[in-house]
Structure formats: C-alpha cells, structure tokens
Amino acid sequence: MPIPKQTSQAPWETQYAQLRQRLTGIGWISEGYVQDRGPGAGGPCYQWTRKVKGGRRSENGVKLAV
C-alpha cells in the first residue's frame, strides 16, 4: 500500500514513512515471537518463544541483532 505524500510532515513522520516503506518487502524474519522483558543485568532483556516438535520453547536473555 503506497504511503500518501503530504507537504507538511514533521521530520519524524517523514522518517517513519520511509522506514515503513523499506520494511514492507522483508517478509518473515523469525519463527515465533520476541517479547521485551524490561532491563536485565547488562541492558535490555528479551524472551524468544517458538514451537519446536509440537512443543513450545523459550530462550531468555536473547540478544537481538539490529
């Protein structure tokens, strides 16, 4: 879906629109989901949960590559 152009966008709105456009073609990046569990001992802490062989598996303290 194309993003309509506006003449009076704030800088963050323009950046947001550009990022949305870049992300539209990426597709799936992971099986399962990642949750932000708040700050951990050394920074942000995430939990990754996914299905493995019919069961659910969670990994705590996952570091995300951006």
Four-point Cα dihedral 29, 32, 37, 43, nearest 10? -40
Q: For residue 64, which of 26, 38, 36, 24 has the smallest C-alpha distance? A: 36
Give the pLDDT confidence of 19-39 residue by residue, as tens digits: 988 888 887 777 788 888 877
Cα–Cα separations (whole angstroms), residue 47 to 10, 18, 20, 29, 33:
34, 29, 25, 16, 8
**pTM, full prediction:** 0.40
Q: Where are the domains of the chain?
A: 30-66
pLDDT at 39: 79
Residues composing the chain: 66
Q: What angle do CA 36, 37, 40 make, to 5 degrees?
A: 115
